[in-house]
Amino acid sequence: MTNKIKTLIDNLKHLPGVYLMFNQDDVVIYVGKAKDLYKRVSQYFLKPQVGKVAKMVSEISYFQTIICKNEKEAFILEMNLIQTHYPKFNILLKDDKHYPYIAIKKDKDPYLTIKRNNKDKKYIYYGPFPNSSAAYQMVDLLNKLYPLRKCKNIPKEACLYYHLGQCLAPCINKNIDSEIYNKTIEQIRSFLNGDNKKKYDEIKEKMLDASNKTNFELALSYKKTLDAIDHINQKQNVEFLDKIDKDIFAYSTRNNYMCVSCLMYRSGLLLDKKSYVVEIFESEVATFIDIISQFYHLYPLPKEVIINNEEVINNLNDVFDTNFISVEKGKLYELVQQAKINSDNYLDEYFLSARLDDDKNKLLENLGQLLNIKTPYHIELFDNSHTQGYDPVSALVVFINGEPQKKMYRKFKIEHQEARDDLKSMEEVMTRHYKRVKNDNLKKADLILLDGGLNQVKVGQKVLDQLQLNIPLFGLFKNNKHQTDGLIDKDGNVYPINDKKLFFLLTRMQDEVHRFAITYHKQKRSKSMFKSILDNIPGLGDKRKEIILNAYPDMNMLKEASLEELSQVLPKDVALALFNKLRS
């Protein structure tokens, strides 16, 4: 810590405000807010930091503070400063193209089009649509259903649209009654508000009539139109009769990363799903708040925002002019659960697909240098899986040159009687496997990784020593938040993984052995067995058990969930009861 930083810390006040971190080039690299500037800012320098925070602190040359009246004012100022400076260590969501509107040109002969803003008063606007493709798809469908003019510049003669009955052809019909257009536009607005059943039935009747008259080509055309309406309606997972614009948020966490998913409903229709993965910088709640704040700098604010987290709502309530809601039952509650499942899946996809194009051999060379061993081109990983001791199994997966070799995967039934003892299970499985490797003179691995802590590493090393096999063995080390952030050897030495590319490669390996073990375990036990673990928790009935099973297919995943994460999909008292039972 420099003398300049020490002096600045001594001058910090116990007051709410905003702080700006600068690097040696006088560039703002981070903006944060605090209820107590002294407590918040000083801890960056007075406490040991890891990961992204440690990297930021190493780049800080000095900082400045702005004192505010209260925490709410600090929150607003923080958002404005982030949008002004775009600091590299703050969460900055990717900005899509400006959301589109469906627009109706106010003309003697009106027509439909897509507009990127709603400033031109020559148009009637509907939207905005969070998803561009949905807007274009809707315009194509409306042009098939309603006979507005299709050409921006009116031609001299009628085109195909007129002969298909999809245009009133102002090119040849010079005096179309304005009432006809007004009625058509009203029908379009009604359709966009989700009222399309009448039109659907009308087209279906025409299709059946054409089919009865053996005009199958025309019937097929009507059928395609019905399919298009069905496709639009399929996005409407829940029909909201109030037609109020809503956003539903939920999040998932894993290995110090957070995924936030948002279901975006407009006029009762689910028009888009947005998901973002970011590294957790401070706390879960602070990161969640930051993402939502950034989100509403990119997208229009709806009338209702559903977030099952009171602390987040309290922070956002006075900042954004909308209605923040927390729910514990009904359709909205089911949608929060759906958003949570989406965030789970997206986070899984992110870890499985991230860095797929990296030079894996180079990463393996870096891993060898980190662990002071030869380059581990052949890696074997073990993991155990059971449900409170029932149906215990173990699994082995093999990666060669950073790629999974599924023909070399192995499943193991645990034979010893103390099924709850993961250490005995690991000792048994490794003894069986590596005794065979030695006796049959099979190719040895360059590295063994165990999905466990120091005790499992010691057990694994004991097996190798007894078999007189010299294979480097390490465990995937987890911090006090149960997040993997390094490797550990038999002596308890920790090797932090600071290279994100290497981190993702090892995480994919960890995911694969975990997935393979869980899949085998599921084959050996029924869902009813898993559900029994959730019995005798007040308020946790069959429906909520199914929700938990879908979100957390394995007991280890469920045990790693925080109370805040569980509270998104369960009432607070039920989430707390489950949380306490899992940890007892």
State the pLDDT at residue 79: 79
- C-alpha to C-alpha distance for 342 and 354, rounded to whole angstroms: 17
* Domain ranges in the chain with CATH number 1.10.150.20: 527-583
Q: What is the DSSP string of 97-142?
A: SPPPEEEEE-SSS--EEEES-S--TTEEEE---S-HHHHHHHHHHH
In the chain, residues under CATH classification 3.40.1440.10 are: 3-85
The class (CATH top level) of 527-583 is mainly alpha
- Rounded mean pLDDT of 196-212? 84
- When pLDDT is averaged across residues 496-504 and rounded to a whole number, the result is 85
The b-or-e profile of 457-493 (16+ CB within 10 A means b, else e) is bbbbbebbeeeebebbbbbbbbeeeebbbbbbbbeee
Multiple choice CATH, 360-524, 3.30.420.340, 3.40.50.720, 3.20.20.410, 2.60.120.510? 3.30.420.340
Cα–Cα distance for residue pair 347/350, rounded to 1 Å:
5
pLDDT on residue 11: 86
* Contact between 351 and 508 (Cβ < 8 Å): yes
Compute the distance between CA of residue 80 and CA of residue 88 in angstroms, rounded to an integer: 15
Above pLDDT 90, what percent of the chain? 18
Please give the residue that has the higher pLDDT: either 344 or 268. Answer: 344
Whether 389 shows a pLDDT value over 70: the answer reads: no
Amino acid at 112: L
**Looking at residue 41, what is its pLDDT?**
93
Residues of the chain with CATH 3.30.420.340: 246-353, 360-524
HSE-CB for 145 with a 13 A CA cutoff: 31
Task: Write down the CATH number for the domain with range 3-85.
Answer: 3.40.1440.10
pLDDT in the model for residue 554: 65
Contact criterion met (CB below 8 Å) for 129 and 164: no
Q: Which residues contact residue 271 at a Cβ distance below 8 angstroms, ignoring those fewer than 6 apart?
A: 129, 130, 131, 134, 235, 264, 265
**Higher-confidence residue: 139 or 387?**
139
SS3 assignment, position 152: coil
For the segment 130-134, the average pLDDT, to the nearest whole number, is: 65
Q: What angle do helix axes 37-46 and 3-10 make, rounded to 10 degrees? A: 160
CA 270 to chain centre: 17
Most confident of 144-153, 238-247, 485-494: 485-494
425-479 pLDDT, tens per residue? 888 889 999 999 998 888 889 999 998 778 889 999 999 999 999 999 999 877 6
The yes-or-no verdict on residue 560 having pLDDT over 90 is no
CB-CB contact of 539 with 533 (8 Å): no
Tell me how far apart the alpha carbons of residues 36 and 25 are, in angstroms, rounded to a whole number: 27
Q: Residue 399 pLDDT more than 60?
A: yes
Q: Where are the alpha helices (DSSP H) in 372-421?
A: none
Per-residue pLDDT, averaged over 374-399, amounts to 80
Q: What is the pLDDT of residue 237?
A: 45
Count of CB atoms situated within 10 Å of the CB of 577: 18
- Amino acid of residue 121: K
pLDDT at 540 over 80: yes
The mean pLDDT of the chain is 82
Order of strands across the sheet that contains 17-22: 28-34, 17-22, 62-67
Q: What pLDDT is attached to residue 407?
A: 81
Q: Which of 304-308, 360-364, 436-440 has the lowest mean pLDDT?
A: 360-364
pLDDT at 525 over 60: no
Q: In terms of pTM, does the model score above 0.95? A: no
pLDDT band at 523 (very low <50, low <70, confident <90, very high): low
Confidence of residue 417 (pLDDT cuts 50, 70, 90): low
- Is the pLDDT at 236 greater than 60, yes or no? no
For residue 90, pLDDT beyond 60: yes
Q: Considering the domain delimited by 246-353, tell me its CATH architecture.
A: 2-Layer Sandwich (3.30)
